[in-house]
A = this chain, B = another copy of it.
Amino acid sequence: MITEPKRIYNFALFLTLFISTSAISESLIVQKQKFSLKNYTTTNGSELPIVEVGWESYGQLNEEKDNAILITHHFTATSHAAGKYSPDDARAGYWDSIIGPGKAIDTNKFFVLSSDTLVNANVHLPHVITTGPASINPQTQKPYGLDFPVVTIRDFVNVQNALVKSLGIKKLHAIVGASMGSHQALEWASAFPDEVDRVISIIGIGESDSWKKANIESWAAPIKEDPLWNKGNYYDSEPPLDGLQRSLASIILFAHHGYIFDRRFKEKMNIDRAPSESVINDFEVTSWIKKAAAKRAPTVDANHILYLTRACQLFRIGHKSSLALGIAPIKAKIMLFPAKNDVLLAKYNMEKLYTEMLMQKKDVTYEEIEGPWGHLDGIYAIGVKATKIRNFLEND
């Protein structure tokens, strides 16, 4: 099941089709549900009277409640990991290629659930439920804005943990997440080592080093520089759409590798003379990225991007004074899948994490995803690892 509308890498397409042929079926029809948690204290000590997040599930929870797999989503995504809300939906969830009946994450065997994070970016998408700076502060009846506390990946995980417990699940069979979803999956294994058996970490890192902190600050800076942002107080006025678009453009850029852009834009590199005529004129690629960002911006909240960025900047497994200390409590079996051509969370990060886990004699395997997309290979090319994922989930 191909969910990406303009797939342009034929080899990956072929592989994905090949691997999922046996699994092609009607998409699952899914429903969004809401989880509410009262009086949540964030990791930096702030009190939130209520937090609410959306979640959805695929497959059935067994009587023993020991067949649950949690899917944790990436930065720009939502809990919509698989299936469709209605048969007419143009696209299924982002990992529909590997989640469903008979697929790598087999919903005939597993109860798969996926929740929106706190401060989810896509505030204005109809099926997203999240709590963040755009939410109404019950104490003022106005949006929090920057009064919302800085939250960390640990906070995302704490809320998920409460959701999972509310369903009577004492231990997860596995957690699977890509990128910021990997952050959550690894954080779970450190924070609740007795409550998860397996972790699949895709295009992730062990910690956000200084370079990445500075690099993804480019996702925050254009918003903060937009006068309409107004220190986060724009809910009664025009939102900072220009800054938000520039932020999303940077996110889109770093999700891709030159290989995939070359396939898309190379043919036209020489006929477009406008950039040779004035420094004001755009290249086709910059124009394409701007349009993609502009299309996305209206359903995204700018403050939420700031909070997500900060959560990613602050990420280190366990949020302790060293990566080693954060890894120490982990008991789960771990599978690490970096993307070979990732320019956002380059594989040297996962090599470092793998080395540290090996030194601590963790049960860990490491395997690179090949593909032309770069970071997005963790989403679009994941089909090439379907058998590995299935075996990891179905064997002891």
> Using a CB–CB distance below 8 Å, which chain A residues touch chain B?
44, 146, 150, 152, 209-215, 217-218, 220-222, 224-225, 231, 246, 250, 253, 256-258, 261-262, 264-266, 269-270, 275-280, 283-286, 289, 303, 306-307, 309-310, 313-314, 316, 321, 341, 343, 346, 348-349
A249 to chain B, nearest CB (A): 8
Complex interface: chain B residues within 8 A of A275 (CB) = 150, 310, 313-314
Q: Which residue of B lies closest to A321 (CB)?
A: B270
Contacting pair B210 A283 (CB below 8 A): yes
Contacting pair A258 B146 (CB below 8 A): no
Q: Which of B215, B277, B280 contacts A224 (CB 8 A)?
A: B280
Identical copies in the complex? 2
CA distance A33 to B246 in the complex (A): 43
Contacting pair B261 A211 (CB below 8 A): yes
Q: Which residue of B lies closest to A213 (CB)?
A: B283
Contacting pair B225 A225 (CB below 8 A): yes
Contacting pair A277 B214 (CB below 8 A): no
Q: Which of B215, B316, B321 contacts A253 (CB 8 A)?
A: B215
Contacting pair B44 A276 (CB below 8 A): yes
Contacting pair A310 B210 (CB below 8 A): no
A217 to chain B, nearest CB (A): 5
CA distance A270 to B246 in the complex (A): 30
Q: Which residue of B lies closest to A260 (CB)?
A: B211
